[in-house]
Amino acid sequence: MFSRRTAWTRQPTPLAQLRADLQADGQSVCDLTDTNPTQQGFAYAPDVIATCFPPCPHYSPEPLGLETARHAIHRYLQTHGGQLTPDQLWIGASTSELYAHLMHLLGDPGDCWLVPEPGYPLLDMIADTAGLSLQTYPLPLATDGYISMDALDSVRAQAPRCRAIVVVHPHNPTGHLLAPDQLEHLTTYCAAHELALVIDEVFLDYPLDRDPPLPTAARPWPCLTFTLSGLSKVALLPQAKLAWTAVTGPAQWVEEALERAALLADTYLNTATTIQTGAAQALAHAPAMQEQVRRRCRRNLSIAQQVFAETEITVRPPPGGWACLLRLPALQDDDAWAFTLLKHQQVLTQPGHLFGLDRLARGPHLVLSLLVHSDIFLLGCERLLAHVQQKE
């Protein structure tokens, strides 16, 4: 009765099962994986939800998004050097949802997208539901996120039905930034091979090794380019459910993409009017929220660097984003480290293989969220160190 494409494994991993058991047992877990910004003690403006998103009695839908919301997002992109007009924006309920729409727009079942590895495991299930296959191109830690065009080309050459290349900037979980010349190479490459470029900029406001703003990719390029982001990360409002993609590139492709997108979006019309009406206010609050997050991430990074200084644990400082990678001694694999750490120290981390780090990084890696409250982050790092030292 059910489709093959939704026959995903639902068995909890041993790590997830252990966490559930500990919680059922009433034991508190020091969670170093939490990236839900609404639960990390950030100071939101009072009544931000009520004032930004008042009830709206009228409904006059616009498939690609209300004009007021598009203007607000356009102003946000301009502060990052965006070069586009508000009518080159397509608004959706979340970045994930827009990824799904883009897969439908740019691929037929059996077609393929190229995605970076390591990477955040978001696209696999979306691709399954769209009937697309994903091929990974390498983003080795050793090259600091610099994409080898030769490696990319050899993956593409094996994927004749390739339709698009995905880039995440800053990358998740490594935090690597895209060098300006790299973006130019990619757009020229995509134009030459008639591929679309999909750039995920949800962490654009979170450079950690330099001052903001980072430049947006929402600019004219020789290839059709979709630049994604949303209030979830930009304004720390995942509950608002508002995201966007900018559509830039050669005029005839942009026009064709937007006309098809309007029909696709019209089929669902699922971005709430109330939320779109409040987008300008939510974005006005965003810089103050982003500053708190950058401060928290930098503080936690320096905590990790201090706690693990001169130990067998290597901190890989991310240039941007909300995550930090640790390399642990090769006494056991990353799953075993994460499991034993949770079991013996009640510290929850993410094993690197969930992000494909086992294939491209030497040694077992754990991924920590830098968003976590600093007291908890410090406690978790200290327990992690104690656990590693006991094992040695």
Ligand X SMILES: Cc1ncc(COP(=O)(O)O)c(C=O)c1O
Contact residues for ligand X, defined by CB under 6 A:
94-96, 120, 122, 168, 172, 200, 202, 230, 232, 238, 243
Minimum CB separation of residue 173 from ligand X in Å reads: 8
Helix axes 374-391, 279-307, angle to 10 degrees: 30
Minimum CB separation of residue 324 from ligand X in Å reads: 14
Q: Select from 316, 340, 311, 337 the least CA-distant residue to 326.
A: 316
Q: Which of 39/314 has CB closer to ligand X?
A: 39
Q: Which of 40/232 has CB closer to ligand X?
A: 232
Q: In Å, how far are 221, 342, 355, 366 from 335, measured between CA atoms? A: 42, 11, 12, 9
Q: Which of 162/168 has CB closer to ligand X?
A: 168
Q: 269 — alpha (psi -120 to 50), left (phi > 0) or beta?
A: left
Residue 132 contacts residue 222 (beta carbons within 8 Å): no
Q: Measured in whole angstroms, how far is the alpha carbon of residue 225 from the centre of its chain? A: 17
Minimum CB separation of residue 385 from ligand X in Å reads: 27
Separation of alpha carbons 9 and 152, rounded Å: 30
Q: Which of 203/339 has CB closer to ligand X?
A: 203
Minimum CB separation of residue 76 from ligand X in Å reads: 14
Residue number of the CB atom closest to ligand X: 95
Q: Which of 126/385 has CB closer to ligand X?
A: 126
Minimum CB separation of residue 352 from ligand X in Å reads: 15
Separation of alpha carbons 134 and 122, rounded Å: 12
Minimum CB separation of residue 62 from ligand X in Å reads: 20
Q: Which of 97/256 has CB closer to ligand X?
A: 97
Q: Which of 201/308 has CB closer to ligand X?
A: 201
Separation of alpha carbons 149 and 137, rounded Å: 10
Q: Which of 36/148 has CB closer to ligand X?
A: 36
Minimum CB separation of residue 321 from ligand X in Å reads: 8
Bridge-partner residues for 315, per DSSP? Answer: 326
Minimum CB separation of residue 378 from ligand X in Å reads: 24
Q: Select from 125, 138, 128, 33 the least CA-distant residue to 357.
A: 138
Residue 29 contacts residue 348 (beta carbons within 8 Å): yes
Residue 238 contacts residue 36 (beta carbons within 8 Å): yes
Q: Which of 169/327 has CB closer to ligand X?
A: 169
DSSP code at position 141: G
Q: Cα angle at 143 between 142 and 148, to 5 degrees?
A: 130
State the amino acid at position 254 in one-letter form: V
Minimum CB separation of residue 377 from ligand X in Å reads: 18
Write out the DSSP string of 210-237: SPSPPPPS-S--SS-EEEEEEHHHHSS-
